[in-house]
A = this chain, B = another copy of it.
Amino acid sequence: MTSPFDAAQTAARTQAIAADLAAVEWITDGRVERLSQDFYWFSPVLKRQLEGLRADAVARPKTEDEIRAVVAACARQGVPITARGSGTGNYGQCMPLHGGVILDLSAYNQLLWCKPGVARAQAGIRMMEMDRKTQAEGWELRCVPSTFRSATLGGLYGGGFGGVGSINHGPLASSGNVLGVKAMSIEPEPRTVELRGPEALLLHHVYGTAGLVLELEVGLAPAHPWLEAIVCFDSFDAALEFGDALASAPGLVKKSVTLLAAPIPDLLLQAVPVLAGTMTARSHAVFVLVAEFSEQGFQQLVTDFGGSVTLRKTAAEVRSSNRTIVEYTWNHTTLHAMKVDKGLTYIQSGMQAGKHVQQAKTMRKLLGDEVLVHLEFIRTKEGAMNCSGLQLVRYRNDERLNEIMQIHRDHGVYIANPHVYIVEDGKQGQVNPDVVATKMRFDPQGLLNPGKLRGWEQREQIMADAASGRVSLATLPRF
């Protein structure tokens, strides 16, 4: 790829900045390589494209002042900045295409406050740590990825979509989940601003390209005692319908419902010795987090749909074992399955709410053994029950992989392509003019994670269209 940045110059300037800002923690040794990566290798396509990318140095600031110093220096020198949490994403979101500085925010990690239903934290806080603190007040995060142990809140906001808990509150982008963010501009004199409401979503899921997020204020959910269970079924349809009924049941309080169709449970049993005995061989498994006080209704549904509970752990047992079945769901399923079958990759999809059960059946019939069904029940942004697929795919070649995604689209299933690293390519190619305009305010030189936002190349056209009234932009943040 051709770069607007001179690699040698960027490297030299980065070194000079690191030398100049000696009070900040800098990493310049062999760890830089690991800190320049995420789980991009889930995709054979991205593995080929992104392998070997490396920043020139990693800065790990602990305070806003340290962040400001690094940002100001980079802005003055024209050095790319790629923000990073724990690197648990998997589209190369935080991998620097053009070197420069990795801004590792994992040491900028304080919980600022927690009130009923809302908390505010620095972007680098690990979600497990945040939950530990807010749970003491009776609250917890509304959605976490399966990587919550190491993943940061800012990372979820910048590179994620939703997760465990989205079955109740929808994706992060649903109103009320992210109340505000404090963002910094990439300028010689960096400015900060608090974005509230819809503005707070302008920097969401754009891989840290449009502005630097320092703090997040997020909605919390009541922390219930979650019972963890695995329910096995002989029939795929029964497992799917059970999952949908449980997910939808308004009187049964739950946090997560995951369907892993055969043979995924067998792959997990192979990959994870500690799961021995927790699932029936050759079955379809539903992984469930349900409130202990809703167990009676949950067990009734298991009976109604002909399932067998093959694992049951109370909240206290989960806590004392320090193990949760959450770490076998979402992209942890992919991770474990790939351990035993290197030929696997995956796709991400979204069914149409209301048609989701039928679509899931249809796609399974169509794609048989080539696509292994993994569904997570979640609410849509508007609140309807739906399921999101993280189907495992037996990879043959890129053409067939694209064909499989196209077959999904042809059947009305939305694809969030995880084999691309450009923001818009994961979203059916759609450029969002508001995001581009936002980036123009926060990052006029285009230094944030350069090369990931296609719309940036179209900024002059977008501004001209806005000026002529052909495009109407959202009200944009003011400093």
Contacts and interface: CB of A to CB of B under 8 A. Distances in A.
Interface of A: 115-118, 138, 142, 168-170, 174-177, 179, 196-198, 219-220, 222, 224-225, 245, 247-253, 291-294, 296-297, 300-301, 354, 379-385
A291 B175 CA distance: 13
Nearest to A382: B248
A219 B382 contact: no
A248 B197 contact: no
A407 to B, nearest CB: 27
Contacts of A291: 117
A383 B300 contact: no
A325 B461 CA distance: 51
Given A222-B222, A385-B383, A116 B293 contact: yes
A113 to B, nearest CB: 13
Nearest to A197: B300
B385 A294 contact: no
Contacts of A354: 354
B383 A249 contact: yes
In the A-B complex, list the 3 residue pairs whose CB atoms are closest, starting with the nearest: A117-B293, A176-B251, A170-B250
A248 B117 contact: no
B251 A294 contact: no
A249 B117 contact: no
A252 B176 CA distance: 5
B296 A197 contact: yes
Contact of A175 (B196, B198, B249, B293): B249
B179 A116 contact: no
A251 B170 contact: yes
B177 A251 contact: yes
B296 A174 contact: no
Most buried by B among A117, A118, A138: A117
Contact of A293 (B115, B253, B301, B383): B115
Contacts of A177: 251
A250 B174 contact: yes
Most buried by B among A222, A250, A252: A250
7 contacts: A117-B253, A117-B293, A138-B138, A176-B294, A197-B300, A354-B354, A384-B385
Given A117-B224, A138-B138, A222-B222, A382 B249 contact: yes
A250 B292 contact: no
Contacts of A249: 174-176, 382-383
Most buried by B among A176, A245, A248, A380: A176
B296 A196 contact: yes
A169 B251 contact: yes
A3 B115 CA distance: 62
A251 B142 contact: yes
Contacts of A198: 300
Most buried by B among A142, A251, A354, A379: A251
A225 B176 CA distance: 15
Given A197-B297, A222-B222, A174 B117 contact: no
Nearest to A143: B251
Contacts of A301: 175
